[in-house]
C-alpha cells in the first residue's frame, strides 16, 4: 500500500506525465523492498514506522519498489530516503520474503481517491509481491525522520509496543531482530546505536536489549574490554565526579578491523 501511494505522489510531484505510465514500465514487477531501521532509546530497541495519511488502518515499514535500471541494494537506500528523509550509505539485506500468504493490498488504491489512477495501476499493485528486507542500526539522535507526503506521521516505536502493521511487516521486523541477535554474537555491532561517549553499563544495556536476556556485569565488561576496541576517557574530577563511571568511545580504526575479522562476543 504505502509504496503505491508513495510512488504515485512522487511521480505526480516530479514528473506529472509519468502518471500516465504503466507501472510495469517503470518498476521491476512484483518486487519490493522494506527497511527495518532500528534505534536505541530509553534502553529499548525502537523501529521507525509510518502511519498512513488516509483512513486506511495501520502502520508500515518504509518500503517501496525497485526501478528497472536500479540495483536492488540501491533501491533500498533510495526508498528509505524518499519515504523518511533518512539518508544512510548502506543498508544490510537480511532476508527475502516470498510466501504466498504475505497478504494482499486489497485494492487499497481505490480507498484514497487520486486523479489519474487507472485499473491497470490497481491491478499492478495487487499482483503477488516478493519483498527483500533491509536492516540498519542507527543513532536516533542523529536521525531526523520526516513523514513523506503519504504519511500522517512517522515515529520510533518500541519493539514491544508496535501497533498493527500492514501485510507481513510485523514478521519482517521479527526476522530483522533475529538477524541482529545472531550478528551480535560475532560482530561488535553497537557503535551506531550509542552516543559518542558511553559507559560500560550503557553498552551492556544495549546488548541486553538485543539479546533479550540479562548479562553478568563482570563477565560482560571483561569480555568487551578484552576486544581492545575502546578508548577510555579521563574523568574530570569535579565534585562527586570521581565516583562516576568511566566513559568510553569506540576506537574506529580498531573497531573496523575487528568488524572485518569477526569476533565472538561470548569468548
19 lines the binding site for a copy of itself (CB under 8 A):
no
Site string for a copy of itself, 233-252 (x = CB under 8 A): --------------------
Site string for a copy of itself, 195-214 (x = CB under 8 A): --------------------
CA-to-CA separations, 205 to 24, 186, 229, 258, in angstroms, rounded:
47, 18, 18, 21
Site string for a copy of itself, 65-94 (x = CB under 8 A): -x-xxxxxx-x-----------------x-
Q: What is the dihedral of CA 15, 20, 25, 31, to 10 degrees?
A: 80
266 lines the binding site for a copy of itself (CB under 8 A):
yes
**Cell 563482570 belongs to residue:** 218
Residue 74 CB contacts under 8 Å (≥ 6 apart), including other chains: none
From the CB of 88, what's the least distance to a copy of itself, in Å? 18
**Cell 533501491 belongs to residue:** 75
Q: Which is nearer to a copy of itself, 142 or 226 (CB)?
A: 226
From the CB of 92, what's the least distance to a copy of itself, in Å? 10
98 lines the binding site for a copy of itself (CB under 8 A):
yes
Backbone phi, then psi, for 181, in 5-degree steps?
-65, -40
Q: How far apart are CA 107 and CA 105, in angstroms?
A: 6
Annotate 152-173 with DSSP letters as a single string.
EEEEEEEGGG---BSTTHHHHH
Residues that bind a copy of itself (CB under 8 A): 28-31, 66, 68-73, 75, 93, 95-100, 128, 130, 132, 182, 185-186, 262-267
Amino acid at each position: 500500500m504505502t509504496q503505491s501511494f508513495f510512488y504515485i505522489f512522487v511521480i505526480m510531484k516530479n514528473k506529472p506525465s509519468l502518471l500516465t505510465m504503466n507501472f510495469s514500465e517503470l518498476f521491476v514487477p512484483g518486487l519490493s523492498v522494506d527497511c527495518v531501521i532500528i534505534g536505541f532509546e530509553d534502553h529499548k530497541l525502537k523501529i521507525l514506522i509510518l502511519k498512513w495519511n488516509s483512513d486506511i488502518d495501520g502502520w508500515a515499514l518504509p518500503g517501496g519498489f525497485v526501478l528497472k535500471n536500479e540495483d536492488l541494494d540501491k533501491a533500498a537506500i533510495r526508498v528509505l530516503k524518499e519515504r523518511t528523509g533518512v539518508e544512510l550509505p548502506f543498508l544490510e539485506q537480511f532476508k527475502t520474503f516470498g510466501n504466498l500468504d504475505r497478504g494482499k493490498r486489497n485494492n487499497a488504491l481505490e480507498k484514497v481517491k487520486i486523479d489519474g489512477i487507472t485499473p491497470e495501476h490497481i491491478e499492478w499493485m495487487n499482483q503477488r509481491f516478493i519483498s527483500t528486507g533491509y536492516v540498519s542500526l542507527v543513532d536516533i539522535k542523529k536521525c531526523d525522520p520526516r513523514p513523506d507526503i503519504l504519511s500522517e506521521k512517522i515515529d520510533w516505536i518500541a519493539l514491544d509496543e508496535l501497533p498493527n502493521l500492514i501485510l507481513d511487516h510485523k514478521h519482517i521486523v521479527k526476522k530483522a531482530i533475529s538477524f541482529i541477535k545472531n550478528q551480535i554474537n560475532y560482530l561488535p555491532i553497537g557503535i551506531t546505536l550509542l552516543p559518542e561517549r558511553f559507559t560500560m553499563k550503557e553498552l551492556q544495556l544495549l546488548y541486553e536489549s538485543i539479546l533479550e536476556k540479562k548479562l553478568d556485569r563482570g563477565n560482560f565488561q571483561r569480555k568487551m574490554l578484552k576486544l581492545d576496541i575502546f578508548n577510555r576517557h579521563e574523568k574530570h574530577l569535579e565534585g562527586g565526579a570521581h565516583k562516576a563511571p568511566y566513559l568510553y568511545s569506540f576506537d574506529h580504526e580498531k573497531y573496523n578491523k575487528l568488524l572485518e575479522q569477526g569476533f565472538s562476543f561470548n569468548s
